[in-house]
A and B are shown apart, each in its own frame.
Chain A
Amino acid sequence: MSLTALLDVLLPGDGDFPAASATTLPSRLSAHPRFANTVPPVLAALSDGITPDTVRRAERDHPAAFAALLTGVYSLYYTDPGVAAALARLTGYQTRPPQPEGYDLPAFDPALLAIPAARAPLYRPTPEVIDD
């Protein structure tokens, strides 16, 4: 309960993106082998309740622990299928893994080099080579 409340303060959602509690983030965070242990230190610092103000205080007083938690929160939020779908709708970003399809890009256009290729040499030669 308190974890969900904390996550919704961090990522409340808006018209485009879901609130953290509406995603797989709470359950995945609690079970994640690298990130689960970042939760208790921050929750322990929130004994006065969970509001934006108390969370801000926890961040100020425990910056390293808070940063570790936030890395896990952002990592798991943006890999949630619902968030990925929202991102795709909003931006056209292809939320599939980068491989094996990759992406198409136009090939390099040599015409772009008309100006830089005409410049004089910019490097200093080896002094002994000049002396020779």
Chain B
Amino acid sequence: MDDVLIVGAGASGAAAAWRLARAGLRVTCLEQGDWVSYADTPSLHPEWEIARQTTHHPNPNQRQGAADYPIDDADAAIKPFLYNAVGGSTILWGAHFPRFRPSDFRTRTLDGVGDDWPITYEDLAPFYEENDRMMGVAGLQGDPGNPPRGPRQMPPIPLGRAGERMAAAFDRLGWHWWPADVAINSIPYGAGRGACNNCGPCDLGCPVKARSSADVTYWPQALAAGVRLITHATAFEVETDAQGRATGVAYFDREGVVQRHKAAVVALAANGVGTARLMLLSTSKRFPNGLANDTDLVGRRLMHHPTGLVTARFDEAMEGQKGPFAVSILSQQFYESDPSRGFDRGYQMQLIRSDGPVGTACGGYLPRLPWGADHHAAFRRTFGHTASLTVTTEDLPRLENRVTLSSMLTDKHGIPAPKMTYSLDDNTRRMIAHGIANASRAFGEAGAVEVVAQDLLVHAGFHLLGTACMGADPGASVVNATSRAHLVPNLVILDGSVFTTAAALNPTSTLQALALRAADCLIRDRASIGVAA
């Protein structure tokens, strides 16, 4: 029997698997997807942009890949954006790698909203440092917007024309900016991994392995440490004994045959939708409402990062097709709470580059270009002349935003699909409006000739958080400060489900640091954890 069985080989599962195996534990990981091949990455082909509409579409309902399960998103204002493979959604990610700020862990104490985490920034800081070393971070120390941190592994990536222009504009406005911490190699770093060649579409896969997806960072080292990784394994139930302790996981193997894998400890790392779905599917006499769900909190408090987008057009060419598409510089001028702004908490702005010709025409950063006689002139005005600022807001937890089991959809095995129910509150809408006004002002300062804002990016459910939240009170949370379920001592949750609050920052470095910390706590405490006979 394994010491630990992990479900999900994405960012958090990979980090924990590596850590646990290095400590000598016997670890198996189940992953419903497969390894991604970089030998045939879309960006090597002339029709590379079409992949974003087909094989690499971020919404599994649109992509319909062999490893994907449908998600009922009819009642969700923000649609899911995820990937199922070894590496999880880091296969598609833009590799922003900020840390949460100290205040993000104390929103109730400082601002009277949300809930305090049972841990602090300082508790997590050493795990951030170790995770940075494993993933490799390009950036610079000295950001006044954040606590001091260790030297970055690599210098910042190139800013490009738009980045340098916006940096100067932020300086004139007296606003904070800093080169983004990114998990992209600006110089070679890690075994077999080269430097970014500024090709642009990180989301289509990086044949240079410069972008730090979990399949090229943690997984080679986890496998070398002895982790057994089973791909094409679709988990559908965490099995328990009469006392409610986890005994293992039932899954469909690549032939569709049911297998049952036993382990002393089960760890879930299937993202904020997949983990909640698996827990809700795992009913028993002890847990009739789903695993560890006596409080009815499993699946609730779903948080995203609701994002507004402001795109500016310049007379001069910005050459935004060059450089990693999602990362450049960021401003956290409006991150901390200020009651005079009329909303709680805050937001960050991240500068992103621009699309190729297909993306320009189909829309994304800007609305879809018109068809007909005006099309070609609109294309000439737009293509290569834009830059965008995201307005990434904090999403405070609300019970009505949740993941449940769909009564309408099932996966290819007949298992109920997850259903996302999600809406924005007025606080978030005010925050986005504030951010759009400021992003527009910054672009005006930079000399933009036209600015277009989108109030909400719909296909932006890339950060799936909070559905098995961490807390000190067993009556008001699902897991404790060590990421173990209050009600199931040998169940650990590793992914973004455990976030008490969402902050307004990309979560991957935080969820990986939490996974490393959970692994360390498990190594320390496992002799005293009650496991099934």
Q: Which residues of A are in contact with B by a Cβ distance under 8 Å?
A: 9-14, 16-17, 34, 52, 55, 67, 70-79, 83-84, 87, 90-91, 93, 95-110, 112-113, 115-117, 119-129
Type the 1/0 row for B337-378, where 1 means its CB is closer than 8 Å to any CB of A: 000000000000000000011100110000011011101110
Contact between chains at B171 and A116 (CB < 8 Å): yes
A79-B47 CB under 8 A given contacts A52-B372, A98-B201, A119-B176: yes
Contact between chains at A108 and B144 (CB < 8 Å): no
C-alpha spacing A55/B103, complex, angstroms = 53
Contact between chains at B336 and A78 (CB < 8 Å): no
Partner pick for A126 among B46, B106, B380, CB 8 A cutoff: B106
Which residues of A have CB within 8 Å of B122?
126, 129
Contact between chains at A93 and B157 (CB < 8 Å): no
A78-B177 CB under 8 A given contacts A11-B371, A112-B167, A123-B336: no
Q: Chain A's interface: helix, strand, loop or mixed, by majority?
A: loop
B324 → chain A closest CB, angstroms: 10
Quick check: which of B37-45, B400-408, B414-422, B520-528 contacts chain A, the rest being far away? B37-45
Ordered by A's residue number, 19 sampled pairs between the chains whose C-beta atoms are within 8 Å are: A75-B47, A77-B361, A84-B46, A101-B199, A102-B198, A102-B199, A105-B322, A109-B164, A110-B140, A113-B178, A113-B179, A119-B176, A121-B145, A122-B176, A122-B335, A124-B103, A126-B121, A126-B122, A127-B110
C-alpha spacing A93/B355, complex, angstroms = 12
Which residues of A have CB within 8 Å of B384?
91, 93
Contact between chains at B375 and A11 (CB < 8 Å): yes
Quick check: which of B49-57, B229-237, B303-311 contacts chain A, the rest being far away? B49-57
Is B193 part of the binding interface, using a Cβ–Cβ cutoff of 8 Å? Answer: no
Q: Which residues of B are in contact with A by a Cβ distance under 8 Å?
A: 41, 43-50, 53-54, 101-103, 105-106, 109-110, 120-122, 140, 142, 144-147, 155-160, 164, 167, 170-171, 176-179, 186, 196-201, 207-208, 317, 321-323, 332-333, 335-336, 356-358, 361-362, 368-369, 371-373, 375-377, 379-380, 383-384
A17 → chain B closest CB, angstroms: 5
B349 → chain A closest CB, angstroms: 14
A49 → chain B closest CB, angstroms: 16
C-alpha spacing A99/B199, complex, angstroms = 6
A-B pairs, 3 with minimum CB distance:
A102-B197, A98-B199, A105-B158
A94 → chain B closest CB, angstroms: 9
A13 → chain B closest CB, angstroms: 7
C-alpha spacing A55/B375, complex, angstroms = 15
Contact between chains at A106 and B110 (CB < 8 Å): no
B38 → chain A closest CB, angstroms: 10
Partner pick for A17 among B105, B167, B200, B376, CB 8 A cutoff: B376
Partner pick for B53 among A34, A98, A123, CB 8 A cutoff: A34
A91 → chain B closest CB, angstroms: 6
* CB closest chain-A residue, reference B158: A105
Which residues of A have CB within 8 Å of B47?
75, 79
Which residues of A have CB within 8 Å of B157?
108
Contact between chains at B44 and A75 (CB < 8 Å): no
C-alpha spacing A112/B375, complex, angstroms = 38
Partner pick for A74 among B106, B109, B178, B362, CB 8 A cutoff: B362
Contact between chains at B177 and A98 (CB < 8 Å): no
A119-B144 CB under 8 A given contacts A99-B41, A104-B198, A126-B122: yes
User: Quick one: which of A11, A99, A101 has the most chain B CB within 10 A?
Assistant: A99
Which residues of B have CB within 8 Å of A109?
164
Partner pick for A115 among B106, B171, B376, CB 8 A cutoff: B171
Partner pick for A98 among B164, B200, B333, B335, CB 8 A cutoff: B200
Contact between chains at B105 and A126 (CB < 8 Å): yes
Contact between chains at A112 and B164 (CB < 8 Å): yes
C-alpha spacing A125/B142, complex, angstroms = 16
Partner pick for B50 among A11, A75, A105, A115, CB 8 A cutoff: A75
Which residues of B have CB within 8 Å of A93?
321, 357, 383-384
Contact between chains at A79 and B144 (CB < 8 Å): no
Contact between chains at B103 and A123 (CB < 8 Å): yes
Which residues of A have CB within 8 Å of B332?
122
Contact between chains at A90 and B358 (CB < 8 Å): no
Contact between chains at B368 and A70 (CB < 8 Å): yes
Which residues of B have CB within 8 Å of A116?
144, 167, 170-171, 176-178
* CB closest chain-A residue, reference B197: A102
Which residues of A have CB within 8 Å of B198?
102-105
C-alpha spacing A117/B144, complex, angstroms = 7
Which residues of B have CB within 8 Å of A117?
142, 144
Which residues of A have CB within 8 Å of B199?
98-99, 101-103
A129-B368 CB under 8 A given contacts A14-B376, A74-B361, A107-B155: no
C-alpha spacing A68/B322, complex, angstroms = 28
C-alpha spacing A99/B46, complex, angstroms = 10
A105-B160 CB under 8 A given contacts A78-B357, A117-B142: yes
**Seed contacts A95-B46, A124-B102; 14 additional CB < 8 Å A-B pairs:** A10-B371, A11-B371, A52-B373, A55-B371, A55-B372, A75-B49, A90-B380, A97-B44, A98-B43, A99-B197, A108-B186, A109-B164, A113-B142, A116-B177
Which residues of A have CB within 8 Å of B179?
108, 113
A127-B336 CB under 8 A given contacts A52-B372, A71-B53: no
Which residues of B have CB within 8 Å of A128?
120
Contact between chains at B120 and A129 (CB < 8 Å): yes
